[in-house]
Structures are given as structure tokens and as C-alpha cells.
A and B are shown apart, each in its own frame.
Chain A
Amino acid sequence: MKIGVLALASVLAAWSAAAQQQEPATVGYTAVQAERENRDEPHFDAALRDVRNALDHLGYDTYRYLTSGSIRADYGQEAELELTDRYTLHVTPLSKERDGRVRAEIRVTKERDERDEDGNPIKVNALRTTSRLVPGDELLLGAFDLDQGDLVIVLAVGAEG
């Protein structure tokens, strides 16, 4: 009886302490193909309206929408998403800080032309970063070469994440 009650207390305490990290983190992403086409005025695809401010300073004159969505990942678990035929986005939420920021490891891997002994494509980290992200603020990752232009990724941690 006594041990049971003490065990219950421990479980409650652990549950309470972990409550804020139980919810998976949500990371929104938008992949953009940025190019220089010698335009007089920069062009943004209509689908990029929400991220235009984040892209404005980059110096390209053409921004084309590639894909967008959100990744939902448990803390400590890596989630990955293929952005193009060669680039994959990997997100691992590490912890949620007391100030609300989400500490995460983010990787963008690039698939090489060569294959390993088993015939699988060899991937390298085109970028690897660990950051503490304010929910709602944008994190810009680039520039990763594409056949035409560069790949730029806009990330934002969800407010609930």
C-alpha cells in the first residue's frame, strides 16, 4: 500500500515534468527554387506569399514554389521528408526550452550520383545545424544547388510545438 502510493507519486511527478514535452513538435517547411533570371522586379510565385518576407533579402530575382507541408516529430525522434529527387530534410526535435523555444537538429542531405556496395544511393549532409527556434519565427536554409537555380528551405516551428 505504502509502496504503491509512493510509486503513484513518482509517476505523477514524472508525468507532470514531462507533460510539456509529450506533444510532438510540428515543423512547417516550404521548399523554394531560387534563380537569377535578370528580372527588373523580383518574382515570387503566389504560393510563396507567406514566406516572401523571409526570402526578400537573398538577392535572387525569381522564387518558384516547389513544395510545402509540415513535419510532426516526437522529441528525440528524427522525421524526414524528401524535398526533391536529391534533397531530403531531416528534423529531430531535441527538447522544448522553458522559454518556449524548440531545440532541434536539422539536416539537409544530398544524394550523390554514386551508389554504395548494396546499390543504395550515398547521401551526405549538405547542411547540419542545431538551433533553438522560436515558434512562429522563420529559419532559412540554403543554398543547395539544383539543376536550375538553388534550393532554399524556409522552416518554422509550429506555435503548439
Chain B
Amino acid sequence: MDLTLHVWRQKTRDAEGGFVTYRAENISSDASFLEMLDVVNERLIEKNEEPIHFEHDCREGICGSCGMMINGVAHGPVGGTATCQLHMRHFKDGDEITVEPWRARSFPVIKDLIVDRAPLDAIIQAGGYISVNTGSAVEANTLPIPKQIQELSMDAAECIQCGACVAQCPNGAAQLFTAAKVSHLGLLPQGQPERYERVVKMVETMESFFGSCTLFRECEAVCPKEISTKFIERMNRDFLAAKFKPSKEPVAQ
């Protein structure tokens, strides 16, 4: 198939960027979106033009490296898929496709389609873990976990930290990402001791970097792992509960 691409090019963080139009001809419909860009890049190199920079690695939809706005939609037109798993058969011959980096104030562009997503790690550093040093774990079957709880926790834990939720949100909010980690850990018995302290620290850090959630739910629609906004409700409940708890007083779980 033959396509016309309008791609955001920006040399460095501080440079001015703009759209450049490329023809992508003779693309196989079985190629992935990134493989289509590979082909475009090889042809650019032949013409002595610098290839389009974009982040990618596993190309199996799990590392969370890739991501771009494709015709204004994070990860493109097919739901539940990362850009690397989006295949060209979902486009038509002659299509015009606009390709931009993640749109979010908290994710400055590093080059072309590559952005800086460091604030997401900062949220994890604020409390997205269970504090257990190596060696101090109890035997694994000591605490039974109901299958339904484990499954629900896993639904949240599947988050790949790609940042699509932030990029799609009109407010640039990171609620879905934060809620996924808060819920993954907060649902499990092992996560109870730090449950309320965790949610407060993570939400406060999140708010220092990102916009506020006004329940557009666009995040859920573009999430490659289809993580539910129900986890945001859950996080909000935990956050409120934490705020109303008497501070510093130990509470039995």
C-alpha cells in the first residue's frame, strides 16, 4: 500500500519542531507500524536524510518503550494495542497518517517522536513497592490469596508504563498509571501494611508532575493493556480513607 505520512521532526529538546511529509510507498499490509517506519527510515538514509527517531525495543507490546500519536490517537486506531503491535492492515491504501510524539506537558520531546517520561518513575519511587528486603520473605504459600483477588491485582499489574494514558488525557493526568500500581499492590495481602501511606505518597507525587483527572476516561480507551478506570475509583477511595485516618496511629489491617 502507499501512504502519506506527516511526521513531527524536532532535532533536540530545545529546537523548534515541525511536520515533515513523507511518502511511504509499497508497504506490506503485514508489516507493523514500526516496521513501516523502519522502511521509511532506510529510504531516508539512502537519500542522506537523518532517519526518524522513535523509541521502541521489544516490539511485542510489553516493554512500554514505543508510543506515538497516530492521527491524534495514542497508539493508533486499534484498541488494546501498543504501537509495535499495530499492523498496517488496519490502514487503507492512500491513507494520510499524522504521527506525533506523546502530547503532554510533563513529557518534553527529546528528539522527533522520543519523549522524556521520567516523572512516571518518580511516582514509583514515591511508594510503588512493597518494602521487603531480599532474604526476609516468608514461605510463598504462607498467605493464601483468593484467585479473584490475584486476577484483579494482575489486571492492574499488566500496566506497561508507556504513558499513553497521559498523552491522550486532555488534562495530561497520570491517574490511570498511578491507580494501576496502587491497586496492583493494595489489593494483595502483602501490600496491606503500606497501603494507605503508599497511596498518599504516590498521589501527591503524581500531582506534582501531572494534571488533574476529570473523568474523561480517554486513558482507558487507548490503554494497550485495557486497564480499567475502576482502578482510579479504587485509588480515590483509598486516598480518601487514608486522609481521614488518624495520622501516625497504627491501624490493624
- Asked if A pairs with B, the answer is no
Chain B contacts to A: CB under 8 angstroms: none
Please list the residues of chain A having a beta carbon within 8 angstroms of any beta carbon in chain B. none
